[in-house]
Amino acid sequence: MSDAAECIFCKIVSGELSCQKVYEDDKVLGILDIYPFAKGHCQIIPKRHVQWFYDMEDEEIAHLARVAKLVANKIKKAFNPDFVCSFVRGKRIPHVHIILFPIFEGDMLDRFFGALDLVQLFPGEIAKLAPGSVARKIRDA
């Protein structure tokens, strides 16, 4: 895990760096991304420094997800996108964060995710790789 003293999100949480807040409570901060892909592109971050969502306490991850849902609904209301995409990161910035992107039909993000659809394996293809072994390996871990 990275050092919280060097973490950009921890510096934002502490007030050392400025941000555009969209939500805040005692455990979570929602901010606009400084390099957005779309209007309303946000980061939802826990105030406690932790790199990976699976290292968070159950109640922390549940609260983080509830806040992401709340902010996603606010983005939907404010900008009326077709939908709001979300995913969890912690690699490039080693502090877990949920990214929220409003997606509009035909925009760059819609085209990007559409391109991903073209390279994904079809459900039947993964079964051909090793019938049942992938699911069994995860279940048994």
List active site positions.
97
The alpha carbons of the chain give a radius of gyration, in whole angstroms, of 17
27: CB partners within 8 A, 6+ apart = 46, 47, 48, 60, 63, 64
Sequence-distant (6+) residues with CB within 8 A of 109 are 37, 38, 85, 101, 103
Number of C-beta neighbours around residue 43 at 10 A:
23
DSSP codes, 15-66:
TSS---EEEE-SSEEEEE-SS-SSTT-EEEEESS--S-GGGS-HHHHHHHHH
Determine which helix (DSSP H) or strand (DSSP E) holds 93, and give its type and residue range. Answer: none
